[in-house]
Amino acid sequence: MRFLPVNLTTILVELDDLDQTLALFASLETDPVEGIEDIVPAARTLMIGFRAERLTAERLAGEIATRDLSARIAPSDQLVEIPVHYDGEDLADVAQLTGLSVEEVIRRHTESTFTVAFCGFAPGFGYLVGGDPALQVPRRKSPRTRIPAGSVALAGAFSGVYPQASPGGWQIIGTTLEKMWDLSRDPPALFQPGYRVRFFDLEKRAVAISTPATKVVDPGPAEFTSEAVTLKVLAAPMPALFQDLGRFGKTGQGVSSSGALDRGALKAANRVVGNAAGTPCLEIILGGFSFEASGRTVMALTGAPCPISIRDASGRTIAAETYQPISLEPGDVVTLGHAPRGMRSYLSIRGGLTVEPVLGSASTDTLAFIGPDPVTAGTILTLQTATQFLGSVSLSEAPAFAFPASGEIVTLDVIMGPRSDWFTEAGITSFSGQLWQVTPQSNRVGIRLSGDIALERKDKTELPSEGTATGAIQVPHSGQPVLFLADHPLTGGYPVIGTVAEYHLDLAGQIPVNAQIRFRPVTRFADVRPHAPDTKARPPRIK
């Protein structure tokens, strides 16, 4: 085993092959190490997050290093059969790459029994192993910008089905109408780790397609009364998103945590109005948002400092301050100006807004398309009417840092790894020695950066997909890095040169377009050395 640093609370365990990876995963599931929070399995690695108050990276490595990797996971009794039209764009190319006929490719694929090894990349995307070795083909040299949902594809030792339209570089051999991801199903992902999977050719075997019966839901007692206070959204130049502290414990289905990009600002917004810290708020980008309140309530705005104006029913307009409780009366119209600094503001309402959680969270994941719908002009938002504990409003909240403006330089601390050794000495020097411009292509998935000097790799070796953490700085073939934010994919296929320290993630979420980033390594890259449980060693730091 090899133990690599990811950030201050995450390591990457690299193994020889998929069998060892799955054996270690099974061992940690059966006999867990106290303090582990999350495990993301991939082709040859496990990314493991841990609680720093319970473990150090060295002690965790020591706990894992002695595990028996000879065990194999028992096959599941669950068999999923997938009907396929073998009409994929790359079917002829796969035949040429394997030296087989198209008919033989189809025969070998349908006669294989696959096992779901792990899930990642996108919700419901299962990496299937156990197919005919003759069908192992490389990814496409030039990935497609859009692969349709339901595409059945091959890459290396894996087969898989794309659950939604997305970019990808796998070789497409067919299509299926079977839904890989369905939130009305429990669990939503059709493929679960350990399930067995077989494909069959619709040209040779008919399948009955039934129309599912309409599900009648008993609405139960009325959720709201006629006296419920509502907010009518009058303007939303960029759709606002519901966010809370994130969606955790769903990595087995390929779902990342998402959540507010500035968690500190969200918590502060809730404290200002007396809500629980994780109550869903609206994440608003660059201001311009406006709404009318139908009744009396209290609001707060934190994060990027938008000017706040309130016009009452008589037409009088007053200004209000961020990070302070703001009392609203019936008919008040609240309008947010453009934020001169930062990117994201957080709007909280005392008692909270009514929103339906998805997989245990009200966060909207813009990459996975999970969570509440974006909030646009014309949306009617309803305040919670259920009795719940409300605390006192807070009058002492303040921003945790100075919000950056366009054109300014922001310094982010970086933990080097897990793949710093994939880059040349010149590449490592260029990483921290130049300024990186934030491009307009940035969003909640990640900040796309542009620098004068592309980061140089040692070679063009392909990296098997492995787990990525929020804050990971992934470097594609262009050498221009992408800083992953909360909606990033669970796994990635490009090397990560370093990861932004957790304490700077909120700041990273507030960096506007055309600002510049300087990466400041706070550790030197080195493998994590396994230590006995009583060892107190910490990663070496640069002084």
pLDDT (tens digit per residue) in 136-183: 999 887 778 889 999 999 998 899 999 999 888 899 999 999 999 999
Do 181 and 149 fall into the same domain?
Answer: yes
Residue 218 pLDDT = 45
Indicate whether 543 belongs to any domain: no
CA dihedral 509, 511, 514, 518 (to 10 degrees): -100
Cβ contact 302:322 at 8 Å: yes
Do 368 and 238 fall into the same domain?
Answer: yes
Number of domains in the chain: 4
507 phi, psi to nearest 5 deg: -60, -40
Average pLDDT in the 454-477 region?
A: 93
Do 235 and 373 fall into the same domain?
Answer: yes
Give 289's Cβ-side CA count (13 Å radius): 26
CATH code of 41's domain:
3.30.1360.40
Indicate whether 403 belongs to any domain: no
Indicate whether 221 belongs to any domain: no
Do 134 and 177 fall into the same domain?
Answer: yes
Do 240 and 343 fall into the same domain?
Answer: yes
Do 134 and 187 fall into the same domain?
Answer: yes
CATH code of 173's domain:
2.40.100.10
Q: Under DSSP, is residue 429 helix (H, G, I), strand (E, B) or coil? A: helix
Sole residue written with tokens 């473990």: 55
Do 192 and 267 fall into the same domain?
Answer: no
CA atoms of 154 and 382, how far apart (whole Å)? 47
Structure confidence by residue, pLDDT tens digits, 28-52: 988 999 999 999 999 899 999 999 9
Average pLDDT in the 103-114 region?
A: 97
Whether omega for the bond prior to residue 187 falls within 30 degrees of 0, making it cis, is yes
Q: Which amino acid is at 105?
A: V
Indicate whether 540 belongs to any domain: no
Do 345 and 486 fall into the same domain?
Answer: no
Sign of CA dihedral 59, 61, 66, 68: positive
Return the percentage of the chain with pLDDT > 70, whole number: 93
Q: Output the pTM of the full model.
A: 0.89
Do 42 and 171 fall into the same domain?
Answer: no
pLDDT at 225 over 60: no
Give the pLDDT band (50/70/90) at residue 247. Answer: very high
Indicate whether 259 belongs to any domain: yes
Do 304 and 365 fall into the same domain?
Answer: yes
Give the pLDDT band (50/70/90) at residue 135. Answer: very high
Structure confidence by residue, pLDDT tens digits, 422-462: 999 999 999 999 999 999 999 999 999 999 999 999 998 88
Do 57 and 93 fall into the same domain?
Answer: no
Range of the domain at 43: 2-65
Closest CA relative to residue 137, chosen from 95, 89, 176, 109: 95
Do 137 and 108 fall into the same domain?
Answer: yes
Give 386's Cβ-side CA count (13 Å radius): 9
The two beta strands, 516-521 and 409-416, are parallel
Q: Write the burial class of residue 267 (CB in 10 Å: 0-12 exposed, 13-18 middle, 19+ buried).
A: buried
Structure confidence by residue, pLDDT tens digits, 257-288: 999 999 999 999 999 999 999 999 999 999 99
Indicate whether 218 belongs to any domain: no
CA dihedral 134, 139, 141, 146 (to 10 degrees): 130
Indicate whether 261 belongs to any domain: yes
Long-range contact pairs involving 30-37 (C-beta distance under 8 Å, separation at least 24): 33/60, 33/63, 33/64, 35/60, 36/60, 37/9
Closest CA relative to residue 370, chosen from 491, 267, 247: 247
CA atoms of 489 and 123, how far apart (whole Å)? 9
Indicate whether 499 belongs to any domain: yes
